[in-house]
Chains A and B, each alone.
Chain A
Amino acid sequence: MQSTIRESGQDRIFLCCVYIFLSVILLLIFYPLLYIVSSSFSSAAAVQSGKVWLWPIDPTLDGYVGVFKYNAVWTGFLNAIIYTVCGTALSVSLTIMMAYPLSRKEMFGRGVWIWGILIAMLFNGGLIPFYLVVKDLGMVDTRWAIIVPTALNIFAVIIAKTFFQNSLPKELYEAAQLDGCGDFRFLTRMVLPLSKPILAVLVLWGAVGQWNSYFNALIFLNSPSLYPLQLVLRQILVENKIDYTSMSASMDTQKLVVMQNMETLLKYSLIIITTIPILLIYPFVQKYFVQGVFVGSIKE
């Protein structure tokens, strides 16, 4: 089929250019990542003198050892896991609880809710009124502030609602109803098992978003013991504040050079270690995120 009409020379040159162009793009995207990985495994001296440009030089794991001794990173990691697991669980539950009733045409007053969520998507009170609400609820500087206020994601509700409407035929509900299945049971026994793809999208969206975000923690948290990983990273990577007393291994004061070397390596290793959880789920993410974009683009 493909070659019933042969490609002209001009077309082959063009196609060749496309391949070259994409290869250059690939290199531009890939190089910074490779540089960070290679540096994280190199000695500090090699990194600082600019010897590392492609592969690791004088391979060492010093940076990673440093990260493991850094208590604030551990606290941050643990907090991030708590926020990600609880935040995602709450967020996905709320999304389903909002989307399922709204996908049911039998529900009286459904239009009011739909307008309600559309208005909330278009308008918002802004940062300060939002902050004041969270403050009035007594959530500032508690774990609740990270998990609760942003749990309901309206965009996710719309996508889930569209999915329920398009992929669950009306006949399914009618049949279940004849067998004496109520709205609750229909949700747990029929809707959820049949909605695994959309659940995967929602979980991945929620988890990646929560893991990577620092804004809510920045505005709501004051105690370092509650900081999620991204806020700890901000101190180390962006503000260059490294707290050596936070490292459990006692270090001689004379080892200033060691400290400075550590400062360099710590950054590279931290970037790698923090990105690993995302990297592990990347195959799923890639598959389902794209699916999410498509589900969302289907209009009613």
Chain B
Amino acid sequence: MSMRMGIAMKRSIVRHWPLYVIISLPTAFLIAFSYWPMLGVQIAFREYSPVLGVWKSPWIGLHQFQSFISSPYFWPLVKNTLSLSVYYIAVSIPCAVILAIALNEVRSVRFKKVVQMFTYAPYFISTVILVGMIQIILSPTSGPLALVFHQFGISNPPNLLGSASGFSSIYVWSGIWQETGYGAVIYLAALAGVNPELYEAAKIDGASRLQKIRFVDLPGISPAIIILLILSVGGLLSVGFEKTFLLQNNLNLSKSEIISTYVYKTGLVNADFSFASAIGLFNSVVGLILISIVNYTARKVSDSSLF
């Protein structure tokens, strides 16, 4: 049997050799930029020296992890990172669901298209421009927010961008402004897949629009909600570097320093490669544990799970 399989295998490879030629180039990229760095993670357990390189630097075991966990930065970093992503998930999923359900109720195709076009557009604005816009709009001296305060007779409005307490809300609500339209697309697709017979049955039973949303729409999209929730929990600790980094300043650093920005600063700015890799690895491992726990719970509770 194994011989026959061996022959079949050889014949298949010989006959379809072009497939292997084609796939060799992307495979080289996969190895170089995905798998090679995975092997490089070992520097988290070594005392990296640029002269000796990744493979020859001396082993030091878990020292880097211990010094990270016992450092005074550890808890503030974990707390900032977690609170930022939990805040964002808690607001963004309901917002996207509400927008999708509202759009689904609209009967005028034209109105629906216009709303979708505009809510979707901010997704394509780059992070740099978004942060530039945030600075312009929330500026305490000129800009729309200052204007509103002046209208109410308050001449020196608070500097939201320069306050630690304002940071997480700015981060989250600018994200809502930018991404809700895009997030709603997935729920709209899920709503389009709901069995139309359910709506007809609900209609015949005399359900109001609100009841249809409660008893047909929401159960129909709950699997999608759960899967997106699981995915976002896996990324709890890897909340967006790009925007946080740009919004950071000395005044809000106590709240805006998160794990990924800290890794960037210790690793690439201060060149402490081993320490930064250890933090990065800690981050991925915790992410993996979190996603497994949520996935397990979701499967037990609701039958929907990612894997």
- List, in ascending order, chain B residues with CB within 8 A of A100's CB: 19, 22
Expressed in whole angstroms, the minimum distance between the Cβ of B228 and any Cβ of chain A is 11
Given the interface pairs A35-B144, A128-B273, A237-B128, the reply to whether A117 lies near B18 with Cβ below 8 Å is no
The segment from B67-75, B79-87, B276-284, B293-301 that touches chain A is: B276-284
Interface 1/0 per residue, A206-234 and B, CB below 8 Å: 00100111110001000000000010011
Query: Is residue A8 within 8 Å, beta carbon to beta carbon, of the partner chain?
Result: yes
Residue from B106, B129, B288 in contact with A237 in the complex, judged by beta carbons closer than 8 Å: B129
Given the interface pairs A50-B147, A214-B126, the reply to whether A128 lies near B277 with Cβ below 8 Å is yes
Most chain A C-beta atoms within 10 Å of own C-beta, residue among B22, B103, B129? B129
- Specify the main secondary structure of chain A where it touches its partner: helix
Query: Is residue B35 within 8 Å, beta carbon to beta carbon, of the partner chain?
Result: yes
CA distance in complex: A233, B133 (Å): 12
- List, in ascending order, chain B residues with CB within 8 A of A39's CB: 136
The segment from B109-117, B163-171, B250-258 that touches chain A is: B109-117
CA distance in complex: A106, B11 (Å): 11
Chain A, interface size category, equals 35 or more
Residue pair A294, B189 in contact (C-beta under 8 Å): yes
The segment from A59-67, A130-138, A194-202, A246-254 that touches chain B is: A130-138
Residue pair B126, A14 in contact (C-beta under 8 Å): no
**Count of B residues near A, CB < 8 Å?**
87
Expressed in whole angstroms, the minimum distance between the Cβ of A110 and any Cβ of chain B is 9
Given contacts A122-B288, A126-B37, A182-B18, 19 further A-B contacts (CB under 8 A): A30-B118, A32-B137, A32-B177, A35-B137, A47-B142, A98-B30, A101-B19, A101-B20, A102-B23, A108-B12, A108-B16, A126-B284, A128-B263, A128-B280, A133-B36, A214-B242, A238-B128, A238-B246, A275-B129
- List, in ascending order, chain B residues with CB within 8 A of A108's CB: 9, 12-13, 16
Query: Is residue A271 within 8 Å, beta carbon to beta carbon, of the partner chain?
Result: yes
Most chain A C-beta atoms within 10 Å of own C-beta, residue among B115, B128, B203? B128
Could you write out 7 A-B pairs with CB less than 8 Å apart? A50-B143, A106-B12, A123-B284, A128-B280, A129-B36, A129-B41, A214-B126
- List, in ascending order, chain A residues with CB within 8 A of B102's CB: 18, 21-22
Residue pair B185, A290 in contact (C-beta under 8 Å): yes
Residue from A32, A47, A154, A208 in contact with B133 in the complex, judged by beta carbons closer than 8 Å: A32
CA distance in complex: A116, B34 (Å): 10
Query: Is residue A113 within 8 Å, beta carbon to beta carbon, of the partner chain?
Result: yes
Interface members, chain B 7-47 (any A CB < 8 Å): 9, 12-13, 15-16, 18-20, 22-23, 25-27, 29-30, 32-41, 43
Query: Is residue A178 within 8 Å, beta carbon to beta carbon, of the partner chain?
Result: no
CA distance in complex: A268, B133 (Å): 9
Expressed in whole angstroms, the minimum distance between the Cβ of B50 and any Cβ of chain A is 9
- List, in ascending order, chain A residues with CB within 8 A of B20's CB: 101, 107
CA distance in complex: A84, B19 (Å): 28
Give 9 closest A-B pairs by Cβ, nearest first: A125-B37, A129-B40, A126-B280, A237-B132, A212-B126, A98-B26, A183-B18, A120-B34, A129-B37
- List, in ascending order, chain B residues with CB within 8 A of A256's CB: none
Residue pair B38, A107 in contact (C-beta under 8 Å): no
Query: Is residue B125 within 8 Å, beta carbon to beta carbon, of the partner chain?
Result: yes
CA distance in complex: A289, B129 (Å): 21
- List, in ascending order, chain A residues with CB within 8 A of B304's CB: none
Interface 1/0 per residue, A1-35 and B, CB below 8 Å: 00001011011001100110110011011111101
- List, in ascending order, chain B residues with CB within 8 A of A22's CB: 102-103, 106, 111, 115
CA distance in complex: A153, B107 (Å): 38
Q: Which residue of B lies closest to A274 (CB)?
A: B129
Expressed in whole angstroms, the minimum distance between the Cβ of B184 and any Cβ of chain A is 10
CA distance in complex: A285, B121 (Å): 10
Interface 1/0 per residue, A244-274 and B, CB below 8 Å: 0000000000000000000010011011001
Query: Is residue A85 within 8 Å, beta carbon to beta carbon, of the partner chain?
Result: no
Expressed in whole angstroms, the minimum distance between the Cβ of A219 and any Cβ of chain B is 6
Query: Is residue A175 within 8 Å, beta carbon to beta carbon, of the partner chain?
Result: no
Residue pair A208, B22 in contact (C-beta under 8 Å): no
Query: Is residue A152 within 8 Å, beta carbon to beta carbon, of the partner chain?
Result: yes
- List, in ascending order, chain B residues with CB within 8 A of A151's CB: 29
Query: Is residue A167 within 8 Å, beta carbon to beta carbon, of the partner chain?
Result: no
CA distance in complex: A250, B40 (Å): 51
Interface 1/0 per residue, B40-65 and A, CB below 8 Å: 11010000000000100000000000
Query: Is residue A69 within 8 Å, beta carbon to beta carbon, of the partner chain?
Result: no
Expressed in whole angstroms, the minimum distance between the Cβ of A278 and any Cβ of chain B is 5
Given the interface pairs A22-B103, A125-B38, the reply to whether A36 lies near B273 with Cβ below 8 Å is no
Query: Is residue B160 within 8 Å, beta carbon to beta carbon, of the partner chain?
Result: no
Given the interface pairs A32-B177, A128-B43, A211-B126, the reply to whether A267 lies near B132 with Cβ below 8 Å is yes
Query: Is residue A143 within 8 Å, beta carbon to beta carbon, of the partner chain?
Result: no
CA distance in complex: A294, B192 (Å): 11
Residue pair B18, A94 in contact (C-beta under 8 Å): no
Q: Which residue of B lies closest to A95 (CB)?
A: B26
